[in-house]
A and B are shown apart, each in its own frame.
Chain A
Protein backbone atom coordinates (compact mmCIF):
# COMPACT_ATOMS: atom_id res chain seq x y z
CA UNK A 1 0.00 0.00 0.00
CA UNK A 2 2.82 2.33 0.84
CA UNK A 3 4.45 1.49 -2.46
CA UNK A 4 1.26 2.28 -4.26
CA UNK A 5 0.86 5.61 -2.51
CA UNK A 6 4.38 6.49 -3.53
CA UNK A 7 3.63 5.55 -7.11
CA UNK A 8 0.41 7.53 -7.10
CA UNK A 9 2.25 10.56 -5.78
CA UNK A 10 4.81 10.05 -8.52
CA UNK A 11 1.99 10.01 -11.04
CA UNK A 12 0.72 13.35 -9.83
CA UNK A 13 4.20 14.82 -9.86
CA UNK A 14 4.78 13.49 -13.34
CA UNK A 15 1.54 14.98 -14.60
CA UNK A 16 2.38 18.36 -13.21
CA UNK A 17 5.92 18.11 -14.52
CA UNK A 18 4.69 17.07 -17.94
CA UNK A 19 2.85 20.34 -18.32
CA UNK A 20 5.62 22.68 -19.34
CA UNK A 21 7.07 20.10 -21.71
CA UNK A 22 3.76 19.71 -23.48
CA UNK A 23 3.19 23.42 -23.61
CA UNK A 24 6.48 24.23 -25.23
CA UNK A 25 4.67 25.90 -28.08
CA UNK A 26 2.45 28.61 -26.65
CA UNK A 27 -0.81 28.98 -28.48
CA UNK A 28 -1.16 31.55 -31.13
CA UNK A 29 2.50 32.38 -31.40
CA UNK A 30 3.56 34.80 -34.05
CA UNK A 31 1.45 37.44 -35.63
CA UNK A 32 -1.72 36.25 -33.95
CA UNK A 33 -0.12 36.82 -30.59
CA UNK A 34 -1.39 40.32 -30.25
CA UNK A 35 -4.99 39.48 -30.85
CA UNK A 36 -5.17 36.55 -28.48
CA UNK A 37 -8.40 35.59 -30.20
CA UNK A 38 -9.08 31.91 -30.47
CA UNK A 39 -12.14 29.96 -31.50
CA UNK A 40 -14.48 29.99 -28.57
CA UNK A 41 -13.05 33.11 -27.05
CA UNK A 42 -15.79 35.70 -27.03
CA UNK A 43 -15.07 38.64 -29.23
CA UNK A 44 -13.92 41.59 -27.24
CA UNK A 45 -14.77 45.12 -28.22
CA UNK A 46 -11.17 46.12 -27.92
CA UNK A 47 -9.54 44.76 -31.05
CA UNK A 48 -5.85 44.38 -30.67
CA UNK A 49 -3.54 44.63 -33.63
CA UNK A 50 -0.02 43.34 -33.74
CA UNK A 51 2.47 46.14 -33.76
CA UNK A 52 4.75 45.24 -36.56
CA UNK A 53 5.90 41.78 -37.40
CA UNK A 54 8.14 41.10 -34.44
CA UNK A 55 6.98 41.17 -30.88
CA UNK A 56 10.13 41.32 -28.83
CA UNK A 57 10.38 38.99 -25.90
CA UNK A 58 11.03 40.87 -22.69
CA UNK A 59 13.33 39.06 -20.35
CA UNK A 60 12.83 39.27 -17.49
CA UNK A 61 9.22 40.23 -17.20
CA UNK A 62 8.42 43.48 -15.46
CA UNK A 63 7.74 42.89 -11.80
CA UNK A 64 4.32 44.49 -12.03
CA UNK A 65 3.30 42.08 -14.76
CA UNK A 66 4.61 39.05 -12.85
CA UNK A 67 2.76 40.00 -9.71
CA UNK A 68 -0.37 40.69 -11.72
CA UNK A 69 -0.21 37.28 -13.38
CA UNK A 70 0.38 35.57 -10.03
CA UNK A 71 -2.52 37.41 -8.46
CA UNK A 72 -4.79 36.49 -11.35
CA UNK A 73 -3.93 32.82 -11.66
CA UNK A 74 -3.19 31.96 -8.05
CA UNK A 75 -2.07 28.50 -7.14
CA UNK A 76 -2.71 27.19 -10.62
CA UNK A 77 0.41 28.83 -11.89
CA UNK A 78 3.35 26.53 -12.36
CA UNK A 79 6.07 27.35 -9.90
CA UNK A 80 8.89 26.07 -12.05
CA UNK A 81 8.24 27.54 -15.47
CA UNK A 82 8.93 31.18 -16.23
CA UNK A 83 6.43 33.65 -17.53
CA UNK A 84 7.21 34.79 -21.05
CA UNK A 85 6.36 38.37 -21.86
CA UNK A 86 6.03 40.10 -25.20
CA UNK A 87 5.52 43.79 -25.66
CA UNK A 88 3.07 44.97 -28.23
CA UNK A 89 0.65 47.75 -28.82
CA UNK A 90 -3.06 47.46 -28.87
CA UNK A 91 -5.68 49.74 -30.25
CA UNK A 92 -7.85 51.33 -27.65
CA UNK A 93 -10.91 53.43 -28.01
CA UNK A 94 -11.51 56.09 -25.49
CA UNK A 95 -14.84 56.97 -24.03
CA UNK A 96 -15.19 59.84 -26.43
CA UNK A 97 -14.57 57.71 -29.47
CA UNK A 98 -10.99 58.72 -30.05
CA UNK A 99 -8.79 55.89 -31.19
CA UNK A 100 -5.20 55.34 -30.28
CA UNK A 101 -2.73 52.73 -29.28
CA UNK A 102 -1.50 51.75 -25.90
CA UNK A 103 1.31 49.43 -24.89
CA UNK A 104 0.24 45.95 -23.87
CA UNK A 105 2.29 43.09 -22.56
CA UNK A 106 1.28 39.60 -23.58
CA UNK A 107 2.28 37.16 -20.87
CA UNK A 108 2.34 33.42 -21.53
CA UNK A 109 2.17 31.47 -18.32
CA UNK A 110 2.31 27.75 -17.79
CA UNK A 111 -0.21 26.21 -15.46
CA UNK A 112 0.53 23.35 -13.15
CA UNK A 113 -1.97 21.12 -14.89
CA UNK A 114 -0.27 21.33 -18.25
CA UNK A 115 -2.23 24.10 -19.86
CA UNK A 116 -1.08 27.49 -20.92
CA UNK A 117 -2.66 30.80 -20.18
CA UNK A 118 -2.21 33.92 -22.25
CA UNK A 119 -2.86 37.13 -20.41
CA UNK A 120 -2.83 40.58 -21.89
CA UNK A 121 -1.54 42.92 -19.27
CA UNK A 122 -1.12 46.61 -19.07
CA UNK A 123 2.40 47.69 -18.11
CA UNK A 124 1.00 48.60 -14.70
CA UNK A 125 0.04 44.98 -14.08
CA UNK A 126 -3.69 45.12 -14.70
CA UNK A 127 -5.18 42.12 -16.49
CA UNK A 128 -6.88 43.10 -19.71
CA UNK A 129 -7.86 39.65 -20.94
CA UNK A 130 -7.22 36.01 -20.18
CA UNK A 131 -7.37 33.05 -22.52
CA UNK A 132 -6.58 29.44 -21.83
CA UNK A 133 -5.39 26.66 -24.05
CA UNK A 134 -6.09 23.11 -23.05
CA UNK A 135 -3.07 21.05 -23.87
CA UNK A 136 -2.98 18.12 -21.48
CA UNK A 137 -3.54 14.74 -23.09
CA UNK A 138 -4.36 16.30 -26.44
CA UNK A 139 -0.77 16.57 -27.46
CA UNK A 140 2.32 15.09 -26.00
CA UNK A 141 2.10 14.50 -22.30
CA UNK A 142 5.67 13.79 -21.43
CA UNK A 143 7.48 10.53 -21.14
CA UNK A 144 7.10 10.23 -17.40
CA UNK A 145 3.36 10.16 -17.66
CA UNK A 146 3.53 7.71 -20.54
CA UNK A 147 5.70 5.36 -18.51
CA UNK A 148 3.36 5.56 -15.52
CA UNK A 149 0.35 5.02 -17.72
CA UNK A 150 1.80 1.83 -19.13
CA UNK A 151 2.85 0.59 -15.70
CA UNK A 152 -0.59 1.10 -14.20
CA UNK A 153 -2.36 -0.17 -17.30
CA UNK A 154 -0.29 -3.34 -17.09
CA UNK A 155 -1.09 -3.67 -13.37
CA UNK A 156 -4.81 -3.30 -13.94
CA UNK A 157 -4.97 -5.56 -16.99
CA UNK A 158 -2.69 -8.15 -15.39
CA UNK A 159 -4.79 -8.17 -12.23
CA UNK A 160 -7.93 -8.58 -14.30
CA UNK A 161 -6.41 -11.50 -16.19
CA UNK A 162 -5.39 -12.97 -12.84
CA UNK A 163 -9.01 -12.82 -11.71
CA UNK A 164 -10.41 -14.82 -14.58
CA UNK A 165 -7.57 -17.32 -14.83
CA UNK A 166 -6.93 -18.48 -11.23
CA UNK A 167 -8.55 -21.50 -9.67
CA UNK A 168 -7.66 -20.37 -6.18
CA UNK A 169 -10.27 -17.87 -5.08
CA UNK A 170 -7.96 -15.97 -2.74
CA UNK A 171 -5.49 -15.48 -5.59
CA UNK A 172 -8.32 -14.14 -7.73
CA UNK A 173 -9.34 -11.67 -5.04
CA UNK A 174 -5.76 -10.48 -4.65
CA UNK A 175 -5.51 -9.96 -8.40
CA UNK A 176 -8.71 -7.96 -8.15
CA UNK A 177 -7.18 -5.73 -5.47
CA UNK A 178 -4.18 -5.07 -7.70
CA UNK A 179 -6.42 -4.32 -10.64
CA UNK A 180 -8.49 -1.85 -8.63
CA UNK A 181 -5.41 -0.08 -7.34
CA UNK A 182 -4.13 0.28 -10.90
CA UNK A 183 -7.49 1.65 -11.98
CA UNK A 184 -7.36 4.16 -9.11
CA UNK A 185 -4.03 5.41 -10.42
CA UNK A 186 -5.57 5.69 -13.88
CA UNK A 187 -8.33 7.80 -12.33
CA UNK A 188 -5.69 10.07 -10.91
CA UNK A 189 -4.12 10.47 -14.33
CA UNK A 190 -7.54 11.58 -15.55
CA UNK A 191 -7.55 14.30 -12.88
CA UNK A 192 -10.18 12.53 -10.80
CA UNK A 193 -8.40 12.67 -7.47
CA UNK A 194 -11.50 12.34 -5.34
CA UNK A 195 -12.76 9.33 -7.25
CA UNK A 196 -9.34 7.71 -7.04
CA UNK A 197 -9.49 7.92 -3.26
CA UNK A 198 -13.08 6.67 -3.24
CA UNK A 199 -12.03 3.81 -5.49
CA UNK A 200 -9.32 2.76 -3.08
CA UNK A 201 -11.56 3.08 -0.02
CA UNK A 202 -14.67 1.43 -1.43
CA UNK A 203 -13.28 -1.19 -3.77
CA UNK A 204 -9.85 -2.11 -2.51
CA UNK A 205 -11.03 -1.61 1.06
CA UNK A 206 -14.63 -2.51 1.63
CA UNK A 207 -15.77 -4.63 -1.29
CA UNK A 208 -12.65 -6.74 -1.38
CA UNK A 209 -12.88 -7.45 2.35
CA UNK A 210 -16.44 -8.58 1.72
CA UNK A 211 -15.22 -10.90 -1.02
CA UNK A 212 -12.49 -12.31 1.19
CA UNK A 213 -15.03 -13.09 3.92
CA UNK A 214 -17.23 -14.93 1.46
CA UNK A 215 -14.21 -16.82 0.14
CA UNK A 216 -13.52 -17.78 3.73
CA UNK A 217 -17.00 -19.28 3.96
CA UNK A 218 -16.79 -21.12 0.65
CA UNK A 219 -13.09 -21.99 0.55
CA UNK A 220 -13.21 -24.74 -2.00
CA UNK A 221 -11.23 -24.59 -5.22
CA UNK A 222 -13.20 -25.48 -8.25
CA UNK A 223 -12.92 -28.88 -9.81
CA UNK A 224 -13.28 -27.56 -13.31
CA UNK A 225 -13.11 -23.76 -13.52
CA UNK A 226 -14.14 -23.41 -17.14
CA UNK A 227 -17.35 -24.86 -18.45
CA UNK A 228 -16.81 -27.30 -21.29
CA UNK A 229 -18.25 -26.17 -24.57
CA UNK A 230 -18.57 -27.87 -27.90
CA UNK A 231 -16.75 -27.02 -31.09
CA UNK A 232 -19.68 -24.97 -32.31
CA UNK A 233 -19.79 -22.94 -29.13
CA UNK A 234 -16.10 -22.19 -29.34
CA UNK A 235 -16.40 -21.07 -32.94
CA UNK A 236 -19.36 -18.87 -32.11
CA UNK A 237 -17.53 -17.34 -29.17
CA UNK A 238 -14.45 -16.67 -31.29
CA UNK A 239 -16.51 -14.95 -33.96
CA UNK A 240 -18.31 -12.85 -31.35
CA UNK A 241 -15.04 -11.77 -29.73
CA UNK A 242 -13.50 -10.90 -33.10
CA UNK A 243 -16.55 -8.84 -34.01
CA UNK A 244 -16.48 -7.05 -30.67
CA UNK A 245 -12.78 -6.23 -30.95
CA UNK A 246 -13.22 -5.02 -34.51
CA UNK A 247 -16.06 -2.72 -33.52
CA UNK A 248 -14.06 -1.37 -30.62
CA UNK A 249 -11.11 -0.58 -32.85
CA UNK A 250 -13.40 1.06 -35.39
CA UNK A 251 -14.83 3.24 -32.65
CA UNK A 252 -11.54 4.13 -31.07
CA UNK A 253 -9.83 5.32 -34.23
CA UNK A 254 -12.67 7.76 -34.68
CA UNK A 255 -12.24 9.36 -31.27
CA UNK A 256 -10.87 12.85 -31.56
CA UNK A 257 -10.25 15.19 -28.72
CA UNK A 258 -12.42 18.28 -28.98
CA UNK A 259 -10.98 21.63 -29.75
CA UNK A 260 -9.45 23.55 -26.93
CA UNK A 261 -12.49 25.78 -26.65
CA UNK A 262 -14.75 22.91 -25.67
CA UNK A 263 -12.29 21.30 -23.31
CA UNK A 264 -11.91 21.66 -19.61
CA UNK A 265 -13.07 24.95 -18.18
CA UNK A 266 -10.63 27.67 -17.28
CA UNK A 267 -9.35 27.70 -13.76
CA UNK A 268 -10.61 30.28 -11.40
CA UNK A 269 -8.57 32.62 -9.34
CA UNK A 270 -9.46 30.63 -6.24
CA UNK A 271 -7.69 27.61 -7.57
CA UNK A 272 -7.99 24.94 -10.16
CA UNK A 273 -10.16 22.29 -8.66
CA UNK A 274 -11.08 19.90 -11.43
CA UNK A 275 -11.94 16.56 -9.86
CA UNK A 276 -11.43 17.71 -6.31
CA UNK A 277 -13.88 17.16 -3.50
CA UNK A 278 -15.11 20.71 -3.93
CA UNK A 279 -15.78 20.35 -7.65
CA UNK A 280 -17.42 16.94 -7.40
CA UNK A 281 -19.44 18.00 -4.37
CA UNK A 282 -20.68 21.13 -6.10
CA UNK A 283 -21.99 19.04 -8.95
CA UNK A 284 -23.24 16.24 -6.70
CA UNK A 285 -25.33 18.54 -4.53
CA UNK A 286 -26.43 20.70 -7.44
CA UNK A 287 -27.65 18.92 -10.56
CA UNK A 288 -26.94 15.49 -9.09
CA UNK A 289 -28.96 15.92 -5.93
CA UNK A 290 -31.80 13.62 -6.91
CA UNK A 291 -29.52 10.71 -7.93
CA UNK A 292 -27.63 11.24 -4.70
CA UNK A 293 -30.80 10.92 -2.65
CA UNK A 294 -31.99 8.00 -4.75
CA UNK A 295 -28.74 6.13 -4.22
CA UNK A 296 -29.28 6.28 -0.48
CA UNK A 297 -32.56 4.42 -0.90
CA UNK A 298 -30.82 1.90 -3.16
CA UNK A 299 -28.16 1.31 -0.52
CA UNK A 300 -30.78 0.95 2.21
CA UNK A 301 -32.66 -1.61 0.11
CA UNK A 302 -29.38 -3.44 -0.55
CA UNK A 303 -28.61 -3.66 3.15
CA UNK A 304 -32.09 -4.95 3.98
CA UNK A 305 -32.07 -7.32 1.02
CA UNK A 306 -28.65 -8.73 1.85
CA UNK A 307 -29.68 -9.42 5.44
CA UNK A 308 -32.96 -10.97 4.34
CA UNK A 309 -31.31 -13.20 1.75
CA UNK A 310 -28.29 -14.33 3.71
CA UNK A 311 -29.86 -15.15 7.06
CA UNK A 312 -30.72 -18.76 7.84
CA UNK A 313 -34.19 -19.91 6.99
CA UNK A 314 -34.79 -21.25 10.51
CA UNK A 315 -33.77 -18.94 13.26
CA UNK A 316 -34.05 -21.45 16.09
CA UNK A 317 -30.94 -22.75 17.75
CA UNK A 318 -30.60 -25.79 15.52
CA UNK A 319 -27.34 -26.40 13.79
CA UNK A 320 -27.42 -25.49 10.11
CA UNK A 321 -26.56 -29.06 9.15
CA UNK A 322 -29.62 -30.36 10.94
CA UNK A 323 -31.93 -27.92 9.21
CA UNK A 324 -30.50 -29.03 5.90
CA UNK A 325 -31.24 -32.62 6.71
CA UNK A 326 -34.76 -31.72 7.62
CA UNK A 327 -35.14 -29.81 4.42
CA UNK A 328 -33.85 -32.74 2.41
CA UNK A 329 -36.14 -35.19 4.18
Chain B
Protein backbone atom coordinates (compact mmCIF):
# COMPACT_ATOMS: atom_id res chain seq x y z
CA UNK B 1 0.00 0.00 0.00
CA UNK B 2 2.75 2.42 0.87
CA UNK B 3 4.54 1.52 -2.34
CA UNK B 4 1.67 3.10 -4.22
CA UNK B 5 2.29 6.28 -2.28
CA UNK B 6 6.05 6.37 -2.65
CA UNK B 7 6.82 4.70 -5.96
CA UNK B 8 5.62 7.16 -8.53
CA UNK B 9 5.29 5.49 -11.89
CA UNK B 10 3.55 6.13 -15.15
CA UNK B 11 0.18 4.82 -13.90
CA UNK B 12 0.12 7.62 -11.34
CA UNK B 13 0.30 10.22 -14.07
CA UNK B 14 -2.30 8.38 -16.12
CA UNK B 15 -4.68 8.15 -13.16
CA UNK B 16 -4.17 11.84 -12.46
CA UNK B 17 -4.99 12.66 -16.08
CA UNK B 18 -8.07 10.44 -15.93
CA UNK B 19 -9.28 12.15 -12.76
CA UNK B 20 -8.79 15.59 -14.30
CA UNK B 21 -10.63 14.47 -17.41
CA UNK B 22 -13.51 13.13 -15.34
CA UNK B 23 -13.76 16.41 -13.44
CA UNK B 24 -13.88 18.21 -16.78
CA UNK B 25 -16.62 15.90 -18.05
CA UNK B 26 -18.59 16.45 -14.87
CA UNK B 27 -18.24 20.21 -15.26
CA UNK B 28 -19.49 20.11 -18.84
CA UNK B 29 -22.43 17.89 -17.96
CA UNK B 30 -23.50 19.48 -14.69
CA UNK B 31 -22.85 23.20 -14.87
CA UNK B 32 -25.11 25.60 -16.74
CA UNK B 33 -22.85 28.61 -17.21
CA UNK B 34 -21.25 28.60 -20.64
CA UNK B 35 -18.05 30.07 -19.24
CA UNK B 36 -17.62 27.24 -16.75
CA UNK B 37 -18.32 24.75 -19.52
CA UNK B 38 -15.56 26.30 -21.63
CA UNK B 39 -13.16 26.09 -18.71
CA UNK B 40 -14.07 22.44 -18.19
CA UNK B 41 -13.29 21.76 -21.84
CA UNK B 42 -9.87 23.34 -21.34
CA UNK B 43 -9.39 21.08 -18.35
CA UNK B 44 -10.18 18.01 -20.46
CA UNK B 45 -7.68 19.11 -23.10
CA UNK B 46 -5.04 19.48 -20.42
CA UNK B 47 -5.77 16.03 -19.07
CA UNK B 48 -5.30 14.65 -22.57
CA UNK B 49 -1.97 16.45 -22.74
CA UNK B 50 -0.81 14.88 -19.48
CA UNK B 51 -1.67 11.46 -20.90
CA UNK B 52 0.20 12.22 -24.09
CA UNK B 53 3.31 13.31 -22.25
CA UNK B 54 3.24 10.34 -19.89
CA UNK B 55 3.05 7.91 -22.80
CA UNK B 56 5.68 9.93 -24.62
CA UNK B 57 8.13 9.48 -21.76
CA UNK B 58 7.11 5.87 -21.36
CA UNK B 59 7.83 4.91 -24.94
CA UNK B 60 10.64 7.32 -25.60
CA UNK B 61 8.88 9.09 -28.44
CA UNK B 62 9.36 12.84 -28.57
CA UNK B 63 6.66 13.42 -31.21
CA UNK B 64 3.98 13.49 -28.52
CA UNK B 65 5.50 16.76 -27.37
CA UNK B 66 4.72 18.20 -30.80
CA UNK B 67 1.23 16.80 -30.51
CA UNK B 68 0.76 18.40 -27.08
CA UNK B 69 2.01 21.72 -28.40
CA UNK B 70 -0.55 21.60 -31.21
CA UNK B 71 -3.26 20.66 -28.72
CA UNK B 72 -2.37 23.77 -26.70
CA UNK B 73 -2.62 25.92 -29.84
CA UNK B 74 -5.98 24.42 -30.74
CA UNK B 75 -7.16 24.99 -27.18
CA UNK B 76 -6.19 28.65 -27.44
CA UNK B 77 -8.11 28.99 -30.70
CA UNK B 78 -11.09 27.21 -29.19
CA UNK B 79 -11.06 29.46 -26.13
CA UNK B 80 -10.96 32.62 -28.23
CA UNK B 81 -13.84 31.57 -30.48
CA UNK B 82 -15.84 30.17 -27.57
CA UNK B 83 -15.46 33.32 -25.53
CA UNK B 84 -16.44 35.40 -28.55
CA UNK B 85 -19.62 33.34 -28.82
CA UNK B 86 -20.26 33.81 -25.10
CA UNK B 87 -19.87 37.57 -25.42
CA UNK B 88 -22.13 37.69 -28.47
CA UNK B 89 -24.81 35.62 -26.75
CA UNK B 90 -24.59 37.72 -23.61
CA UNK B 91 -24.96 40.91 -25.61
CA UNK B 92 -28.17 39.66 -27.14
CA UNK B 93 -29.78 37.78 -24.26
CA UNK B 94 -28.25 39.07 -21.02
CA UNK B 95 -27.41 35.62 -19.75
CA UNK B 96 -25.18 32.75 -20.80
CA UNK B 97 -26.88 29.83 -19.12
CA UNK B 98 -27.04 27.07 -21.65
CA UNK B 99 -30.40 25.79 -20.43
CA UNK B 100 -32.03 29.03 -21.46
CA UNK B 101 -30.50 29.10 -24.93
CA UNK B 102 -33.32 27.09 -26.44
CA UNK B 103 -34.68 29.44 -29.08
CA UNK B 104 -34.20 26.89 -31.81
CA UNK B 105 -36.28 24.33 -29.92
CA UNK B 106 -39.48 26.34 -29.84
**For A303, what are the chain B residues with a Cβ–Cβ distance below 8 Å?**
80
B66 adjacent to A262 (CB under 8 Å): no
Cα separation A262 to B58 with both chains bound (whole Å): 9
The answer to whether A283 and B66 touch (CB under 8 A), given A145-B8, A156-B16, A163-B43, is yes
Q: What per-residue 1/0 map shows which CB atoms of A207-243 lie under 8 Å from chain B? A: 1001100110110101011110000000001000100
Interface assignment of A299: CB less than 8 Å from any CB of chain B: yes
From A160, A169, A253, give the contact of B20 (CB < 8 A): A160
- Tell me the smallest distance from the CB of A99 to a CB of chain B, in Å: 37
Closest B residue to A191 by beta carbon equals B57
- Tell me the smallest distance from the CB of B56 to a CB of chain A, in Å: 8
Interface residues on B, range: 35 or more
13 A-B contacts (beta carbon < 8 Å): A134-B60, A141-B9, A149-B12, A164-B26, A173-B39, A179-B43, A179-B46, A187-B49, A217-B87, A237-B29, A263-B58, A265-B60, A327-B92
From A143, A163, A192, A258, give the contact of B65 (CB < 8 A): A192
Closest B residue to A145 by beta carbon equals B8
* Interface of chain A: mostly helix, strand, loop or mixed: helix
- Tell me the smallest distance from the CB of A15 to a CB of chain B, in Å: 10
A309 adjacent to B84 (CB under 8 Å): yes
Cα separation A301 to B62 with both chains bound (whole Å): 28
Q: What per-residue 1/0 map shows which CB atoms of B43-56 lie under 8 Å from chain A? A: 10010011001101
Cα separation A203 to B26 with both chains bound (whole Å): 21
A302 adjacent to B77 (CB under 8 Å): yes
The count of residues in chain A whose C-beta lies closer than 8 Å to any C-beta of chain B is 91
Cα separation A310 to B62 with both chains bound (whole Å): 38
Binding site for A on B (CB under 8 A): 5-16, 18-20, 22-27, 29-33, 35-36, 38-40, 42-43, 46, 49-50, 53-54, 56-60, 62-63, 65-70, 72-81, 83-88, 90-92, 95-97, 99
Query: Interface segment, A85-93, A104-112, A117-125, A274-282?
Result: A274-282
- Tell me the smallest distance from the CB of B21 to a CB of chain A, in Å: 9
Closest A residue to B93 by beta carbon equals A324
Interface assignment of A257: CB less than 8 Å from any CB of chain B: yes
A310 adjacent to B87 (CB under 8 Å): yes
**For A169, what are the chain B residues with a Cβ–Cβ distance below 8 Å?**
33, 35-36
The answer to whether A255 and B16 touch (CB under 8 A), given A214-B86, A215-B35, is no
